[in-house]
Structure 1
């Protein structure tokens, strides 16, 4: 069954617009903007080439089918035409899938660096230990991908766990890869302190935020309540003796950020502001998504940190992602950052649903 693709003309017009911008004398004065437009230009050019190849393949298929119906055509030519038909049909199907994926509007935050916030939920000490395990898991994943991890803020539990840990990950397409990790992660295992061998269930919440740029969010300095305090510590030579910790309250939203990881007040303030910008950006995005909540019911995940997304069952070495029904029996490897199968399956399902939505909107027009 032939797919009715969206019109190619808007994409051709966009290429013309970018061509005009690239010819402007000051195009390369803004390195980030010029790089983003250059990438978009390259992808659009590929899309247009693929669309032309699809049109040719469809024409060739129609010609071959017409030849088979022509009683006067040479038998040898008919045989060749019949042999080519399955190849052309396969080529058309693959090109249509590729074109549809390329036509989905890109999420402008996909290429952003990311701030990850992990918080212990239900389960007491065991939850805080699992929060530390997840921090280690994402750090190992980052190592595998060549990304850079920087801890921004942490509240330790005193048993090698975290009540809360906030860190940034920078690298190529970090947010695109991790954005579906937001939600409640549930762990089932026997705590080291459990003498009866009983399995305990605990939860940890994960929030994945695209790193905001100042152009995304406007913050009025008058709306900020900034307090410098002395960071608390375990004692010894590393105890802060100056007011280097920073607590920032954004009064209109009530968002509070505390940072005490650095000994410098200036560095702590810079880190805290980065987190604040990203949290406000996420709040804005969630407000926009809420407007279209009814249309998002079938999506892989809303990115809501209250949604239970995954269970880690240690006694059975099993991980289950509840959104896509995926179960893997290699939990130790996953906890070492080997998450490729999970992340790719999530991304493929998300892409499938986006294509389905695009097709639905195209057919309704």
Structure 2
């Protein structure tokens, strides 16, 4: 690990030198690539430099203890020594996590799809609430949300909604949300006061670039139709909505959020790229069962990942056996504690796997 850290430190110093060269700043593509690499390496380098300093502090304290006779000074040096040793242990764990292989999609925007499952109208109502939960979380992060397509029901529910969340690190935060979300509560439509259980499915897909997934336009069929929605110019008056059918896979995507047919077409192609990439990822997860077992619920869409129990005011994530009694705050977009715990559990699982491989 420390050989690798030394190599990364050398590389970081090389990058800093290159960034000061005039010909590099003139080449914007090269400059951006170096800035990205510098940004990725900075937390590792800072932690490693602190680690080296703490080790030096330990050596200095030990040397001074050998020479010091004053009891008060010796006590102070022992405290400094213990503090440095504790920090070294903490930094070793931090560095192990920082050196874990990064998901190449972590910094990407995400396309989110929410579908009502079992439970009829109640499932559609819950789908709309989960949609609002993610929108409010995105607002807290100062991310942008763009709706792609939505199928609403008259009482404020959503049978289906797809939307894009754009912001740095969006996929790294939201990738653990894929799966079945279950709600337990008394529906507004229930007169007998009985608790019902309903489900929705959430799919989180990274936005992918043209060069990541090649689409043959001959495989695509486009239909245009009149958008439907809550009024506004062009809604119900022009054929601006687009339905894209990908013939080889049978994937159908509708986009009607934009007033421009061309913009809706571009959005539909973005969703198609994400879906095709996601299909390929799902195949890999199925083939690499061991990899899927070492991750926290980022593979199987049919996995029941979370229960929202309104009568008890609790939210339980089944993958990490975490229960939080703050359902109102969570439904208002305060999901960071869930995300932090899921991220920590995933890192711990990967570290354990790495340690097993090192022992083997």
Deviates more, 1:8-17 or 1:191-200: 8-17
Distance of aligned partners of 1:199 and 1:6 in 2 relative to their CA distance in 1, 3 Å threshold: farther
Partners of 1:110 and 1:174 within 8 A in 2: yes
Partners of 2:224 and 2:239 within 8 A in 1: yes
The residue number in structure 2 matching 1:129 is 125
Which residue of 15, 36, 41 maps to 1:39? 36
Cα deviation for residue 54 of structure 1 reads 2.7
Matches within 5 A, 1:105-120: 105-120=101-116
Cα deviation for residue 275 of structure 1 reads 0.9
Q: Which runs of 5+ in 1 are unaligned?
A: none
Cα deviation for residue 186 of structure 1 reads 0.2
Give CA deviations for 1:16-54 in whole Å, capped at 9, x if unaligned. 7756975594666555x7445413224425534543543
The residue number in structure 2 matching 1:200 is 196
User: Partner of 1:107: helix, strand, or coil?
Assistant: coil
Distance of aligned partners of 1:363 and 1:9 in 2 relative to their CA distance in 1, 3 Å threshold: farther
Partners of 1:185 and 1:310 within 8 A in 2: yes
Partners of 2:129 and 2:331 within 8 A in 1: yes
Distance 1:125 1:35 in 2: 49
Cα deviation for residue 221 of structure 1 reads 1.1
RMSD: 3.0
TM-score, L = length of structure 1: 0.85
Q: Is structure 2 residue 5 aligned with structure 1 residue 11?
A: no
Which residue of 208, 211, 216 maps to 1:212? 208
Cα deviation for residue 198 of structure 1 reads 0.4
Give CA deviations for 1:247-292 in whole Å, capped at 9, x if unaligned. 2122233322112333432222122111111111222223333343
User: Partner of 2:118: helix, strand, or coil?
Assistant: coil
Partners of 2:184 and 2:310 within 8 A in 1: yes
The residue number in structure 1 matching 2:270 is 274
Cα deviation for residue 101 of structure 1 reads 2.1
Matches within 5 A, 1:169-184: 169-184=165-180
Q: Is structure 2 residue 244 aligned with structure 1 residue 248?
A: yes
Cα deviation for residue 114 of structure 1 reads 1.3
- Report how many residues are paired: 357
Cα deviation for residue 79 of structure 1 reads 5.6
Partners of 1:5 and 1:362 within 8 A in 2: no
Deviates more, 1:186-195 or 1:222-231: 222-231
User: Partner of 2:104: helix, strand, or coil?
Assistant: coil
Deviates more, 1:36-45 or 1:5-14: 5-14
The residue number in structure 1 matching 2:345 is 349
Distance of aligned partners of 1:139 and 1:223 in 2 relative to their CA distance in 1, 3 Å threshold: same
Distance of aligned partners of 1:75 and 1:131 in 2 relative to their CA distance in 1, 3 Å threshold: same
Deviates more, 1:14-23 or 1:197-206: 14-23
Cα deviation for residue 233 of structure 1 reads 6.3
TM-score, L = length of structure 2: 0.87
Cα deviation for residue 312 of structure 1 reads 0.5
User: Partner of 1:8: helix, strand, or coil?
Assistant: helix
Cα deviation for residue 296 of structure 1 reads 3.1
The residue number in structure 1 matching 2:254 is 258
Q: Which runs of 5+ in 2 are unaligned?
A: none
The residue number in structure 2 matching 1:99 is 95
Partners of 2:294 and 2:346 within 8 A in 1: no
Matches within 5 A, 1:283-298: 283-298=279-294
Distance 1:63 1:13 in 2: 25
